[in-house]
Amino acid sequence: MPVQNPFKPTAGARPPLLVGRENLRQDFAESLENGPGAPGLLSIFTGPRGIGKTVMLGEVEDEAIEHGWIVISETATAGLVARIADAVRTASEEMGDGPVGRRVTGVTIGPIRVDTQLPPPREVHWRRRVTDLLTTLGEFGTGLLISVDEIHAVDRSELSELAAVVQHLIRESLPVGLAMAGLPKAVDDLLAEGVSTFLRRAERYNLHATSIPEVKEAFRETFQDSGVVVDDEHLDMLAAATGGYPFLIQLVGYHVWSQARRAGGTVTATALTAGLEKAKRRMGATVLQSAYGALSAVDQSYLLAMAEDDGPSSTAKVASRLGVDLVYGAQYRIRLIAAGAIEPTGHGYVDFAVPTFREFLRGTPAYGLRVHSPGRP
Ligand SMILES: Nc1ncnc2c1ncn2[C@@H]1O[C@H](COP(=O)(O)OP(=O)(O)O)[C@@H](O)[C@H]1O
Ligand SMILES: [Mg+2]
């Protein structure tokens, strides 16, 4: 029987071992136990692509189900509120003999709806239905968790409607949770726009890279359990190559594992080099290409100027490479930090938020040309 590759380098896929998020899950479990009004029941997970937001939503959903809660798991596409309202109806109908933790998904309704705004009578209707459902769930000591991924993509009017209903439920001390995830800048914009002042009260968890020693231990366990031999020195190299960045943990694991299988089940030096090379190429072609492509030309030029450094970049030096003054340079910096592309690493220094970004940029045609057309930053 061929053993399956245990690593999961796919957006939203559950990793074989969750690295470094135990505290967050624990916090959420406590909020569930504390019930209505616990701050963690209104949470937003933010961070760059591939940092593990969708996986984290899955973790809190599982925690809710283990506590006997009902979970409605949604991605913020058009028709969000209508689908949640439908799921609430399904859940109410299924309640029958009382609640058991279950995930309400696959509600039979097309994925795209044009009527994103519910007519008022129906809105009132679903608000009352969800209130009834939560009252019953509360009597059984459980509740309802609504999770919404990619909230940056949501129609503003839908989000404000959802927020208004959840706010009402919380005010009534009903056991409801709302867990959301999105890109940091998009979430900042959303909250700043005043879509809902209520959502500004959400606990904000900005997800970061995990620690290298924890990655090493996760690799050790996963390789061992799947019958691939790897020595300590190679484990150190593998863990370091990921920078603790979750998507890269899966990519590196996947490709090195696959090369090791071809080499007879051992992570040899050749298998390691070949695997890392493949992982970096995939990283460039997926996450980095789309993150970079989504930026304006001026923001891209800031990143290209940073890539000339081998480590964290002095913001003063980057500004001078671009031929702009510090104040102007600071505006790029703020925007790129908000976009999750770079991070401040100390006074006057910034670095890439995602590993292998530097190598990726050095490989792009525009690298080193220092073409820069200062428009409005
Ligand atoms: N804590 C973690 N430990 C190990 N791998 C993880 C972890 N969180 C996410 N991953 C992996 O990283 C990749 C990206 O996760 P995902 O949740 O889709 O990120 P995001 O939603 O932030 O873009 C997936 O392959 C997933 O299996
Ligand atoms: Mg995601």
Question: Tokens 């490709």 appear where?
Answer: 255
pLDDT of residue 44: 96
pLDDT of residue 122: 56
pLDDT of residue 111: 32
User: What is the distance in A from the centroid of ligand 1 to the CA of 127?
Assistant: 34
pLDDT of residue 236: 98
pLDDT of residue 37: 87
Which residue of 57, 183, 250, 286 sits with most ligand 1 atoms within 8 Å of its CB, as the best mutation to test the pocket?
250
pLDDT of residue 89: 87
Per-residue pLDDT of the chain (377 residues; tens, 9 = 90+): 568 999 999 999 999 999 999 999 999 999 999 999 899 999 999 988 899 999 999 999 999 999 999 999 988 788 888 889 888 888 888 775 544 555 454 333 333 323 334 445 556 678 899 999 999 999 989 999 999 999 988 888 889 899 999 999 999 999 999 999 998 878 888 888 877 888 999 999 999 899 999 999 999 999 999 999 999 999 999 999 999 999 999 999 999 999 999 999 999 999 999 999 999 999 999 889 988 998 999 999 999 999 999 999 999 999 999 999 989 889 999 889 878 889 888 899 999 988 899 999 999 988 888 766 554 44
Give the tens place of pLDDT for each residue, 52-86.
Answer: 999 999 999 999 999 999 999 988 788 888 889 88
What domains can you pick out in the chain, each with its CATH number?
22-206 (3.40.50.300), 223-292 (no CATH), 296-362 (1.10.10.10)
Alpha-carbon distances of 250 from 7, 41, 191, 243, 280, rounded to whole Å: 5, 29, 32, 12, 11
User: What is the distance in A from the centroid of ligand 2 to the CA of 128?
Assistant: 31
pLDDT of residue 32: 95
pLDDT of residue 373: 54
User: What is the distance in A from the centroid of ligand 2 to the CA of 318?
Assistant: 31
pLDDT of residue 340: 80
Using the atom order of ligand 1, give the atom closest to the CA of residue 207: 22
3-state secondary structure the chain: CCCCCCCCCCCCCCCCCCCCCHHHHHHHHHHHHHCCCCHHHEEEEECCCCCCHHHHHHHHHHHHHHCCCEEEEEECCCCHHHHHHHHHHHHHHHHCCCCCCEEECCCCCCCCCCCCCCCHHHHHHHHHHHHHHHHHHHHCCCCEEEEEECHHHCCHHHHHHHHHHHHHHHHCCCCEEEEEEECHHHHHHHHHCCCCCHHHHCEEEECCCCCHHHHHHHHHHHHHHCCCECCHHHHHHHHHHHCCCHHHHHHHHHHHHHHHHHCCCECCHHHHHHHHHHHHHHHHHHHHHHHHHCCCHHHHHHHHHHCCCCCCEEHHHHHHHHCCCHHHHHHHHHHHHHCCCEEEEECCEEEECCCCHHHHHHCCCCCCCCCCCCCCC
Alpha-carbon distances of 289 from 54, 57, 141, 153, 286, rounded to whole Å: 20, 25, 47, 20, 6
Nearest CA to ligand 1 atom 5: 246
User: What is the distance in A from the centroid of ligand 1 to the CA of 354?
Assistant: 13
